[in-house]
A and B are shown apart, each in its own frame.
Chain A
Amino acid sequence: MLNILWPIFIIVAFVYAFFSGNVDKVNSVIFESTKNAVELSLTFLGTMCLWNGIMQIAYKSKLIDKIVKLLNPIIKKLFPEINKEKKIKKEIAMNMVANIFGLGNAATPLGIKAMKSMQEVNEKKDTLSNSMMMFIVINTASLQLIPTTVIAIRTSLNSNNPTAIVTPVWGASICSIIIAVMVTKIIIKRKKRN
């Protein structure tokens, strides 16, 4: 995707700059941007290390098993078809937990594992099963408890209150997840009738 977008961005910006007379601004922005990237990454580095470290502690403890248990009733509701498949349910739960803790690097391999297990019990191998649809939709929504990336960006830009956005983020995430799940349920029901 970015192989197309990135050159378009650059070409459009540079060509337009020549016509609009903003070449001087573009010229200075080139070097300013690289400086910004370094500054952001440095601030970023601290927050990311701290948070990944904390989350690794959680991940290695039995706290995770407890949360998996807590998620069980929700998973039952969302994935009625695989209720008897204990292994798949556990994989889905682990993926959700990794997402909740913001461990994207752990969440994706766990999610791929869950997808492969669901494919094994999928009747039409070229089409997403109901459970798979629900699983992907939940992964496209943000379950993350603490939006660390955003907090890191806000910190690097000297915000007065970098964490002020935590509660609003929860509100927006919950609304978007509920709607996405509802739309998915509607799609699943419709296909059944046909």
Chain B
Amino acid sequence: MSIINYISMIAMPAIILIIITYSLIEKNKVYDNFLEGAKEGVSIVYNIFPTLVGLFVAVGALRASGILDVIINFISPVIEGFNIPKEIMPLAILRPISGSASMAVATDIMNSYGVDSKIGQIASVIMGSTETTLYTIAVYTSCVKIKKTRGILMAALIGDIVGMLVSVIICNIL
């Protein structure tokens, strides 16, 4: 367990170190390149901010009104067999559909149940290990104007479900 924590801890600094050292040996303009990328980072956050405000309000209102608990309790018997905490369900449902909405829900979950609690960790791992499946499929099929997708949605969603189940299992073990 401590090894897993250690690898998690050193992964980011190690990668940064390797990249900078390698680039330096190549005699690239390391800092100029850094600034170029960092600028793009600003524009990403700038672009996502309005979405965040809109969705945080919507998701926050859903929770405060009490309707979220009603829905969660309604579906909980189905998922409790899999040992999945019911609090995760809103995230699991929204994750393949919308990147920004699932980000708002995940943040809300981490905030409400504790970022370092088991539920908070599961939400983190699900966010990190899955993608916005529906959006990805839509972008890549529409750019070549293809209509017949041969069950690719099923394959991708099965992958998502497995990823979520494994997230729950791993967090239950740790």
- A41 and B49 within 8 A (CB): yes
A176 touches B101 (CB 8 A): no
* B137 touches which of A2, A140, A184 (Cβ 8 Å): A140
Q: Which of A33, A61, A132, A175 contacts B23 (CB 8 A)?
A: A61
Pairwise interchain contact B23-A63, C-beta atoms closer than 8 A = yes
- Contact between A157 and B38 (Cβ–Cβ < 8 Å)? no
- Identify which of residues 16-57 in chain A touch chain B, using a CB-to-CB cut-off of 8 Å: 16-17, 20, 22, 25-26, 28-30, 32-34, 36-37, 40-41, 44-45, 48-57
Residue A142 contacts which of B110, B130, B148 (CB distance < 8 angstroms)?
B130
Pick from A22, A53, A63: contact of B66, CB under 8 Å: A22
B65 in contact with A16 (CB, 8 Å): yes
Q: Which residues of chain A are within 8 angstroms of B166 by Cβ–Cβ distance? A: 171-172, 175-176
The answer to whether the Cβ of A163 comes within 8 Å of any Cβ in the partner chain is yes
Contact A63-B57, Cβ < 8 Å, known A56-B34, A183-B154: no
Interface residues on B, range: 35 or more
Complex CA distance for A160 and B127, rounded to whole angstroms: 18
In the complex, whether A70 has a CB less than 8 A from a CB of chain B is no
Q: Judge whether B170 is part of the interface by a CB distance below 8 angstroms.
A: yes
Indicate whether A60 reaches chain B with its CB closer than 8 angstroms: yes
Interface on chain B toward A: helix, strand, loop, or mixed SS? helix
Supposing A142-B129, A147-B127, A161-B116 touch, asked if A137 and B58 sit within 8 A by C-beta, the answer is: no
Chain B residues closer than 8 Å to A54, beta-carbon distance: 15-16, 19-20, 34, 37
> Which A residues are CB-close (under 8 A) to B30?
57
| Cα A9 to Cα B61 with chains together (Å) | 8
Q: Spot the interface stretch: A77-85, A86-94, A112-120.
A: A112-120
Residues of B within 8 A of A5 (CB): 97-98, 101
Within 8 Å of chain B (Cβ to Cβ): is A131?
no
Would A50 and B38 count as touching, CB distance under 8 A?
Answer: yes
Extra contacts besides A12-B67, A20-B65 (19): CB < 8 Å: A2-B101, A5-B98, A6-B55, A20-B66, A26-B65, A32-B60, A33-B57, A45-B45, A54-B16, A57-B28, A105-B40, A137-B156, A145-B11, A154-B115, A157-B111, A164-B5, A167-B5, A171-B170, A176-B162
Q: Which 10 A-B residue pairings sit nearest by Cβ, starting from the closest?
A: A56-B37, A180-B159, A176-B163, A147-B128, A52-B41, A172-B129, A53-B38, A13-B61, A169-B128, A49-B41
What are 30 A-B contacts defined by CB distance under 8 Å?
A5-B97, A5-B101, A16-B67, A26-B64, A26-B65, A29-B63, A32-B60, A33-B57, A48-B42, A52-B37, A52-B38, A53-B36, A53-B38, A54-B19, A58-B19, A61-B22, A127-B148, A137-B159, A141-B131, A147-B129, A161-B9, A165-B125, A171-B166, A172-B126, A173-B129, A173-B163, A176-B130, A181-B159, A183-B159, A187-B150
List the interface of chain B (C-beta within 8 A of A).
4-5, 7-9, 11-12, 15-16, 19-20, 22-23, 26, 28, 30, 33-42, 44-45, 48-49, 52-67, 70, 97-98, 100-101, 103, 106-107, 110-111, 115-116, 120-121, 124-131, 133-134, 136-137, 139-141, 143-152, 154-156, 158-160, 162-164, 166-167, 170-171, 174
